[in-house]
Amino acid sequence: FFLSLKLEKKAKGKLQKQICQVVLDHFEKQYSAELGDAWSSVRDVLTSPWCWQHAVLLNRFSQSPGLESSLAEQGFHPVFPAALPYLPPAFRCYSRTAPGRFPAQKHQPGRLKGYYLLNAASLLPVLALEVKDGEDVLDLCAAPGGKSVAVLQCACPGHFHCNEYDDLRSRWLEQTIESFIPDPLINLITVSKLDGRQIGDLHPEFYDKVLVDAPCSNDRSWLFSADPQQAVLRLMQRKELSSLQFQLLRSAVQALRPGGSLVYSTCTLSRAENSDVINLMLNSCRNVMPVDLSGMARGVSQEFTFLSGMQQHELLVLPEKGRAWGPMYVAKLEKVSST
């Protein structure tokens, strides 16, 4: 027992040293103002990687005999209850309250992986999108591909366009799709490297559903920036992100058919990159309406902690011990007419 305690302290000390103080100071100032009392418990989780959790999303295209019983033996339980407004039967995801990671699977060309390890909160944007068979779907900022894989666990789109502007991340996306999706279905997927801000002009009113999982100031990874100079530069450039996010969102609205819906998500707590971007969209664009997400929030309230006081069309998942999911911001809009 004492040895494990010693090892735990050593691990904590090692990880503690890696926290980038300049980022933590910046977050401390911003988030204590924006989140109030909730910030201290969120900070405790974000700065303690040993208490982070990973969920296991099963791949419906891969037969993995004994996988679910093995997960049950290790204390895993289904994350999403059947009572959710939208939960396709093939969509199966497991987690446990204990921290730690289920073993990862290596990429093997020609062989499908049985599961995908991820932060369970990152599945909420996909479930909010409510993709149905035969719909034309765009994942505007798709790398590394977890949400694209999750969309295909829900339904079989008529056409699925996965876009990633960054060259390196685009290759990562292609490998993820190859690892999880069988050949016949891969033929329905287009992977492109377009500037997401231009897709609305290139494909106006083409898609039924659009996911904008926007580039953002990733709170978890930024806190552990190894290079303090890079961290300072990131924090200086942070102010420009909301402008990019708004342009991506505007492009997504252009790409939507009237009656279609989009989900906007980030993995930051920052109000400037979340509610402010959505509010600007709603105030400047007459043909989009907010969509109520409170039914989904109620359905998953056992598994996730949400910031109170948000509007009905948005959710912000706050990490806490035992439910260390998020941060994840989710908002849903519907296009009501042509531009």
Position 66 scores a pLDDT of 92
The gap from C-alpha 169 to its chain's centroid, in whole angstroms, comes to 16
Q: Is 164 annotated as a binding residue?
A: yes
Contact 129, 115 (CB under 8 A): no
SS3 254: helix
Task: Tally the domains of the chain.
Answer: 1
Position 13 scores a pLDDT of 45
Q: Tokens in use for 285?
A: 């664009």
In a domain, 166, yes or no: yes
Distance between CA 238 and CA 225 in Å, rounded? 14
In a domain, 10, yes or no: no
In a domain, 238, yes or no: yes
In a domain, 4, yes or no: no
- Residues of the chain short of pLDDT 70, as ranges, are 1-17, 339
In a domain, 7, yes or no: no
Scanning 2-80, the segments in alpha helix (DSSP H) are 2-17, 21-35, 38-46, 67-73
- CATH number of the domain where residue 258 is located: 3.40.50.150
Q: Is 146 annotated as a binding residue?
A: yes
Position 2 scores a pLDDT of 40
- Please give the single-letter amino acid code of residue 6: K
Distance between CA 205 and CA 260 in Å, rounded? 9
In a domain, 3, yes or no: no
Position 5 scores a pLDDT of 44
Q: Tokens in use for 57?
A: 């999303």
Position 1 scores a pLDDT of 40
- Find the domain containing 130 and state its range: 17-335
Q: Is 144 annotated as a binding residue?
A: yes
In a domain, 323, yes or no: yes
Reported as a single tens digit per residue, the pLDDT across 44-72 is: 999 999 999 999 999 999 988 999 999 99
Q: Is 213 annotated as a binding residue?
A: yes
Position 204 scores a pLDDT of 98
In a domain, 9, yes or no: no
Active centre residues (catalytic): 267
Position 8 scores a pLDDT of 46
SS3 118: strand
